[in-house]
Amino acid sequence: MLTLHFFLWLVNIPLLMSNLTHPKCFWRMKQNEDKHGAVVSGCVFYLLAAQNKVEKKYLPTILPTDTHTSNHQFALPLAFAVNEINRNQYLLPNVSLIFYFFTDLFHDKQAFQKFIYITTKRNRPLLNYICNHKTKCRVMITGPMLTPSMSLAQLFELYRYPQLTYGPFHPILSDRELFPSLYQMAPKDTALALAMVSLMIRINWNWVGLAISDDDQGLQFLSDLRGESEIQRVCLAFVMVIPINMDLYMSRAEVYNKQIETSSTNVVIIYGDTDGTLAVCFRMWVSQGIKRIWVTTSQWDVTTSKRDFTVDSLHGALAFAHHHAEISGFKNFVQTLNSSKYTDLFLAGLGWMYFSCEASTSNCKTLENCSFNASLEWLKLQSFDMAFSDDAYDIYNAVYAMAHALHKMLLQQVENQPIKTLREVDSDCSQLHLFLKKMHFVNPVGDVINMNQKEKLQADYGIYYISNFPHGVGLKVKIGEFKPYFPHGQQLHLYEDMIEWATGSRQMPSAVCSADCPPGFRKIHQERMAACCFDCTPCPANEISNETDMDQCMKCPEDQYANAEQNHCLYKDVTFLAFDDPLGMTLSCMTLCLSAFTVLVLGIFVKHQDTPIVKANNLTLSYILLISLIFCFLCSLLFIGHPNSVTCILQQITYGILFTVAVSTVLAKTITVVLAFKVTTPGRRIKWLLVSGVPNYIIPICTTIQIILCATWLGTSPPSVDIDAHSEHGHIIIVCKKGSVTAFYSVLGYLGSLALGSFTVAFLARNLPDTFNEAKFLTFSMLLFCSVWVTFLPVYHSTKGKVMVAVEVFSILASSTGLLGCVFVPKCYIILLRPERNTLQKLRERSSSRTHIS
């Protein structure tokens, strides 16, 4: 008989349910409370391989006969795996696996050594030991708690016994130097923190609490969670590191209770072993009626054994369980063992019963307000299937791993050793280790199992929403899954219809420190608070935030502006002083009318050029002044319309030169009047100044100086097109930039000095006794001209955009109109309306009368 002994070490085992490939609803019944209260008794499965055939009736007789469901939830999966292997003609052919069931409490090495001695002595005839005083190789399966597995590992290592563990993956157990003979069946949980944080981000949770055990596993999880939280901007409202020592915990229990009661968060993450002080702390919170959404792992998926509490739709639990495929045939197997004992209600107590939960056909939410008997009646009507828990699945794989390792070892023994020495080789643990540590195989459900601890992969997770109904009936619904190997952003997938079915809403309860800042606002972090606690303030002018919870607002580009809500940038309207603009149209009409009027005045002067009043005031200068005024009016049109480089240059240069000609002409006319009076005065000898036409040189000289200034302006920094995006909200105004400010004010200053000189000369000559003396009119024209441009400067600098251009155009029109009205309108009045005064006789009469007065 070939012998290989397997022991399954069970201590404080919680109730679990499996993770499936598609949404399922699990029903469970509350376990009966055992004599030890919350402590679950340990179990040992003694497994051996034999070359004789196993009777079919063997399994029902060897399974536990007590009603404590924690024993059955591990005995049945083990029996199922043994039964599959025994019926498999390709795996361990002609070899059968046999197991025996023992129940006791094992808390130390001495108790376990006594157990090994008793079972060895009790089963010596059955095992058919080779009596050569050699220690036979035994294989131990321990879990799910870390401390017992580590403690027993030291004993097993003395005999080089292979040890397989189930339950959560612990990095410390992967240390080959400390635990060379230990193998963990569970996948790594390195992605658990990322999975939890990803779920919180999807549900818009950023303010959560954390309670962990004060051990290496808990502190490592805290480090991982903080790292992921900082990246994803999830804040921890509090962190409770629960001490393992019970006395130390009890001394701080009130502090922990007050901390969770006063915390503003609705979500608390629980991570740690379920048999220590953290579990005691959790039970205390539940007993005090503290309702939170508990986010935890599958180990915490359990109805408390001492109290029957109800979790409503707003305060449930979210459990992360390892993903694995379904194992078909399990329900049929257990019902074949004893159909009267293993009923659906009994198996629901193991947490294995599930049914397809299509929202259109399921009405399990009606159980909330019904009696216990009604719940059972509803449960009996459902069509159930079965699935493994995470720990049961690990045990199932552990049996298969040992079977595959033994199978390969036996094949090698057959190939390399004589048959007569086979009995001695089969008991060598070192040989079994060689096969076990390199073992990888595909289990019956299609999952790849790799026993190499360095190549352990990260686990995929199923996410379950758990709620408890009255009278010990619980419901667990798969609402999503997390796959760490998928690309970022595609790792988490939630079933929104299942969330709505399980909770009554597609939205989960809120868990935030501060409400989101909507678009148009930015966050201002509160002092001495976490990053998730902040105030919201509107964005500054012309800045936007188009997302929620933005730290900084974004300035709109120059060609755009912020809308009223400050969540979007709009393109600015491009505007300028256009001809079709009301203001532009008004100024254009004024320009054309005044130009036409000036042409009319010129026509009148041309028609009446032989009359005394026209001849008396230097006809040539009058023509020059009128023509320059016509162009002064027309140059205003250069300021209206879409600006370009040419028009920008012509605007400033043209009106500067034209006004210089006009003002210098007024100066020449004024000097001409003064010289004419001086010539008619007895004793004067300056007639040659008037006869030689000296006043006529004033115009080209003054104009030449202005041309030099304008050329200098163009050579240094000429006027150009400028885009004014700030003067008017929502508009981009295209204007002409002056270029060199110094050159601009030099041209304007020179023009002002000419106007001031003309005004001074005209003012001094206003009372000269001449018949058609126009010195007074020239004085008024220069006074008006200077007043317009002195007023222009402050108004021009206080306006922006189109108004600024309009002010400049209006100043040109006003000053030109002043010259035209003051100098030529009185003459036109006499020519057209008082022609009797425009005669030589009248001229002589007025001249003689003025001479008499003088």
Model confidence pLDDT, tens digit, residues 211-222 = 999 988 899 999
pLDDT of residue 329: 80
- In this structure, of 235-239, 287-291, 382-386, 436-440, the range with the lowest mean pLDDT score is 382-386
* Residue 593 structure tokens: 């009318």
pLDDT of residue 345: 55
Q: Answer with the residue of higher pLDDT: 52 or 727.
A: 727
DSSP code, position 456 = P
Q: How many residues does the chain have?
A: 854
DSSP run (H or E) holding 320: strand 317-322
Task: Quickly state the pLDDT bin for 342 (edges 50, 70, 90).
Answer: low
Task: Quickly state the pLDDT bin for 1 (edges 50, 70, 90).
Answer: very low
pLDDT of residue 657: 92
Q: Answer with the residue of higher pLDDT: 4 or 204.
A: 204
pLDDT of residue 18: 29
Cβ neighbour number for residue 436 with a 10 Å cutoff: 23
- Calculate the alpha carbon distances from 578 to 378, 476, 725 in Å: 82, 72, 17
Q: What is the rounded distance in angstroms from the CA atom of residue 591 to the CA atom of residue 806?
A: 12
pTM of the model: 0.63
Mapping DSSP onto H, E and C, the string for 661-715 reads: HHHHHHHHHHHHHHHHHHHHCCCCCCHHHHHCCHHHHHHHHHHHHHHHHHHHHHH
pLDDT of residue 219: 92
Query: Do 304 and 30 form a contact (C-beta atoms < 8 A)?
Result: no
Average pLDDT in the 11-20 region? 30
Average pLDDT in the 634-640 region? 91
Which amino acid, one-letter code, is at 751? L
Q: What is the rounded distance in angstroms from the CA atom of residue 142 to the CA atom of residue 151?
A: 11
Would you list the DSSP string of 276-320? Answer: SHHHHHHHHHHHTT---EEEEEGGG----SS------TTS-EEEE
pLDDT of residue 5: 41
Query: Do 479 and 495 form a contact (C-beta atoms < 8 A)?
Result: yes
* Residue 651 structure tokens: 């605007």
Average pLDDT in the 742-766 region? 85
Q: What is the rounded distance in angstroms from the CA atom of residue 589 to the CA atom of residue 649?
A: 23
Q: Answer with the residue of higher pLDDT: 765 or 713.
A: 713
Q: Answer with the residue of higher pLDDT: 549 or 711.
A: 711
Q: What is the rounded distance in angstroms from the CA atom of residue 446 to the CA atom of residue 442?
A: 6
Helix axes 69-87, 390-416, angle to 10 degrees: 30
Q: What is the rounded distance in angstroms from the CA atom of residue 815 to the CA atom of residue 820?
A: 9
Task: Quickly state the pLDDT bin for 30 (edges 50, 70, 90).
Answer: low
Cβ neighbour number for residue 569 with a 10 Å cutoff: 19
Q: What are the φ/ψ torsions at residue 747 (nearest 5 degrees)?
A: -65, -45
Whether the predicted pLDDT of 319 surpasses 70: yes
Place of tokens 């994803």: 232
Q: Answer with the residue of higher pLDDT: 24 or 726.
A: 726
At CB < 8 A and 24+ separation, what contacts does 588-597 make? 588/637, 588/640, 590/813, 591/633, 591/634, 591/636, 591/637, 591/809, 591/813, 594/633, 594/813, 594/816, 594/817, 594/820, 595/630, 595/633, 595/634, 597/820
Average pLDDT in the 92-103 region? 68
DSSP run (H or E) holding 118: helix 109-122
Place of tokens 């009267």: 340
- Calculate the alpha carbon distances from 734 to 297, 517, 648, 649, 721 in Å: 66, 37, 11, 15, 7
- In this structure, of 98-102, 154-158, 352-356, the range with the lowest mean pLDDT score is 352-356
Task: Quickly state the pLDDT bin for 125 (edges 50, 70, 90).
Answer: very low
* Residue 618 structure tokens: 């230097």
Q: What are the φ/ψ torsions at residue 49 (nearest 5 degrees)?
A: -110, 135
pLDDT of residue 416: 75
Q: Does residue 445 sit in helix, strand or coil?
A: coil
Whether the predicted pLDDT of 577 surpasses 60: yes
Whether the predicted pLDDT of 790 surpasses 70: yes
Query: Do 198 and 465 form a contact (C-beta atoms < 8 A)?
Result: no
pLDDT of residue 798: 84
Q: What is the rounded distance in angstroms from the CA atom of residue 304 to the CA atom of residue 762?
A: 112
Beta bridge partners, 573, equal 731
**Burial, 470: exposed, middle or buried (Cβ in 10 Å; 0-12, 13-18, 19+)?**
middle
Task: Quickly state the pLDDT bin for 113 (edges 50, 70, 90).
Answer: low
What's the distance, Cα to Cα, between the start and end of the chain in Å? 161
Q: Answer with the residue of higher pLDDT: 545 or 433.
A: 545
Place of tokens 């393992």: 244
Going by their DSSP bridges, the two strands 534-538 and 543-544 should be labelled as unpaired
Mean pLDDT value across the chain: 76
Q: What is the rounded distance in angstroms from the CA atom of residue 468 to the CA atom of residue 294?
A: 13
Q: What is the pLDDT of residues 137-160, one digit of tens each?
A: 677 777 777 777 888 788 778 878
Whether the predicted pLDDT of 117 surpasses 60: no
Place of tokens 């949404």: 23
Q: What is the rounded distance in angstroms from the CA atom of residue 237 to the CA atom of residue 513?
A: 8
Average pLDDT in the 749-761 region? 87
Average pLDDT in the 422-449 region? 77
Whether the predicted pLDDT of 537 surpasses 90: yes
Place of tokens 């009319």: 600
Task: Quickly state the pLDDT bin for 686 (edges 50, 70, 90).
Answer: low
Closest residue by Cα to residue 350 from 39, 11, 75: 75
* Residue % of the chain over a pLDDT of 70: 71
- In this structure, of 108-117, 318-327, 622-631, 670-679, the range with the lowest mean pLDDT score is 108-117
pLDDT of residue 222: 94
Q: What is the rounded distance in angstroms from the CA atom of residue 633 to the CA atom of residue 655?
A: 9
Q: What is the rounded distance in angstroms from the CA atom of residue 749 to the CA atom of residue 240?
A: 80
Q: What is the pLDDT of residues 597-611, one digit of tens each?
A: 999 999 998 998 888
Whether the predicted pLDDT of 363 surpasses 50: no
Q: Does residue 820 sit in helix, strand or coil?
A: helix
Query: Do 791 and 718 form a contact (C-beta atoms < 8 A)?
Result: no
Q: What are the φ/ψ torsions at residue 476 (nearest 5 degrees)?
A: -130, 125
Choose the most confident range, by mean pLDDT, from 160-169, 262-271, 776-785.
Answer: 262-271
**Burial, 375: exposed, middle or buried (Cβ in 10 Å; 0-12, 13-18, 19+)?**
buried
Q: Answer with the residue of higher pLDDT: 692 or 596.
A: 596
pLDDT of residue 213: 92
pLDDT of residue 122: 47
Q: What is the pLDDT of residues 300-309, one digit of tens each?
A: 865 433 344 4
Q: Answer with the residue of higher pLDDT: 73 or 706.
A: 706
Task: Quickly state the pLDDT bin for 13 (edges 50, 70, 90).
Answer: very low
* Residue 384 structure tokens: 């159930």
Average pLDDT in the 374-393 region? 60
